Amino acid sequence: MLLELHVKNFALIDELSLEFAPGLNILTGETGAGKSIIIDALGLLLGGRASSDAIRSGAEAMYAEAVFAVDEGSPAHAALLDLGIETDGGTVIVSREVTSSGRNRCRINDRTVTVATLSSIGDYLVDIHGQHEHQSLLSPSKHLDLLDNFGGDELLALRAEVASKFHTLQALKAELSGLLQDDRDKMQRLDLLRFQVGEIGEARLKRGEEEELARERSVLANAEKLFEQCSRAYVCLNGGDGGAGDGFQGMPARDLVALALSELRGASRIDSSLGGVVELLEDAAIGIEEAALRLRSYRDDLEFNPERLAEIEDRLALIARLKRKYGDTVDAILEYKARVEAELGEIERSGERIEELKGEIGSLEADLGRLCATLSEARGRVARALEGEVMRELEALSMPGAVFKVDIVQRESTGGIPFGTNADAGAGAGAGVDGHGGRRVEVNGKGADFVEFLLSANPGEEPRPLARIASGGELSRIMLAIKAVLAVHDEIPTMVFDEIDSGVGGRAAQAVAEKLVKVSKLRQVICVTHLPQIASMADIHFHISKEVSSDRTRTRVRKLAGDEQVTEIARMLAGNNLTDITLRHAEEMLSLATRLKLAI
């Protein structure tokens, strides 16, 4: 329920606040005072379109804030929890600021959100109906959703199942279309992939191969230098051995360490602390001997092999060429080959997949056709119920001879799906079905049905589309009748009517007033009206006016009670020329309204 609304720098409003209550909240005032502007500000808070042109002249931004009471466990509460937004004791504060540069700042309980999020949450909080809603009632594209909402959870669940199967079908058809691309393009791609796999495969690359080849190439290219360096090092360690020395003169490391050991072993017998040094030198002697043996073996195995070096150069050149084409490393080339082989396999298997897809699509179309038929039958039952309830409401709204009809049809199409309980009889083959007359029909995510509301306002007339026969007053009453019916079934706590009584007068106006009271017993109702019959039914009555001060026009709001409410009802009855008679008439109207509200 809407508790408070605060608006600042919006159109004619410099700043105002309203506190709403349960029941019927009425806004009245002279034309142009700003009644609809207040509703527009509420719409802005609920994700409506914003224009910087609506910012009050001289201001940098407009601001609106609303406080709602949200029941725990309600759809609005669940939607907020899904967004991770906690309610503070059931209170939700929604705000929106629009700057002159067009920037939006939206918040729910101090958490920044997008305009789209405002809109999605707003759908659970408030249902706004105005003259533009009358126009939407003329659009058959809106009628299907109204019917399904009236049908409730069971019908909506069936519709969701249809949507799921339809989207799966679309995905399968898109995959099939991709596989059925131009054969020449496919063959060209196939030839390219086969060449690439063959080229990489012929190379017989191995992981780590390039690094090992580079090392071997370095050794072969420097074999003579390595031989000389190893020989000199060997002589330094072990002395001459008849090999290729460099004329090294002096005692080799082996002998120097042995000499040092000879000296220190005697010394360590005198001072045992030198024992550690002796052990180190003994280890060094062993290490020198091992190093000398390994050097000699390495040197003796070295050979200069021009043929092997040429092979390595050719192999590295091949790897370099493949790297330029397929990847920066051998690993990358092999990974590319694996991807190409997978794609190649997919293309080569595409014929099999095409046949699989055709079978899956045919089966899914049959399932979808049966499900759409089931949904259509359910909608037919719901439509009859809606017709009955709306006609009862229309009778109460002084349209006793009206006939309201929900027309449900399917559009046949050779490119559609088989429609009916025996849909598999024609699945995938273009054949008809006997479940619903042997037809193929258009289908979308909402099913196969096209729904339109028809009305006969007078006895003896055939029901026709609303746009062709309904006057403004009739549209107002039809809208109210439908919303009164839906109010029993939906869980939106607040309904807003912006001059829904347009074109209504006399007994019809009184009927509309009583219907609004009935709806307000189920939901909080906020209504902008110019009819005294409706205003007199108010539980809370706000008067909207405008005043001019310092060459600026401002909208003002005042809660009416007692004599002020009597005066406002009298003004609505007779204009500004108030007399004792019009004031007494207003008092009688308010007294009658009080008795009627108790009886409704």
Q: How big is the chain, counted in residues?
A: 600
Mean pLDDT of all residues in 510-515? 90
Q: What angle do CA 57, 63, 65 make, to 5 degrees?
A: 150
User: CATH assignment of 1-131+475-483+492-600?
Assistant: 3.40.50.300
pLDDT at 436 over 60: no
Give 120: exposed, middle or buried? Use CB within 10 Å, 0-12, 13-18, 19+: middle
Confidence class for position 424, pLDDT limits 50, 70, 90? low
pLDDT at 242 over 50: no
Residues 43, 483: Cα–Cα separation, whole Å: 18
> Bridge-partner residues for 55, per DSSP?
10
* Per-residue confidence (pLDDT) for residue 547, from 0 to 100: 84
* Higher-confidence position of 576 and 103: 103
Q: What string of DSSP letters covers 28-63? A: E-STTSSHHHHHHHHHHHTT----GGGBPTT-SEEE
Confidence class for position 404, pLDDT limits 50, 70, 90? very high
pLDDT at 136 over 70: no
Mean pLDDT of all residues in 426-444? 59
pLDDT at 426 over 70: no
In the chain, list all ranges with CATH 3.40.50.300: 1-131+475-483+492-600
* Per-residue confidence (pLDDT) for residue 434, from 0 to 100: 38
pLDDT at 410 over 60: yes
CB 79 within 8 A of CB 491: no
* Higher-confidence position of 220 and 201: 201
* Higher-confidence position of 37 and 406: 406
What type of residue is 221?
A
pLDDT at 432 over 70: no
Considering only 363-367, 443-447, 478-482, which range has the smallest mean pLDDT? 478-482
* Higher-confidence position of 503 and 121: 121
Mean pLDDT of all residues in 296-324? 83
* Per-residue confidence (pLDDT) for residue 442, from 0 to 100: 95
Average pLDDT, the chain: 85
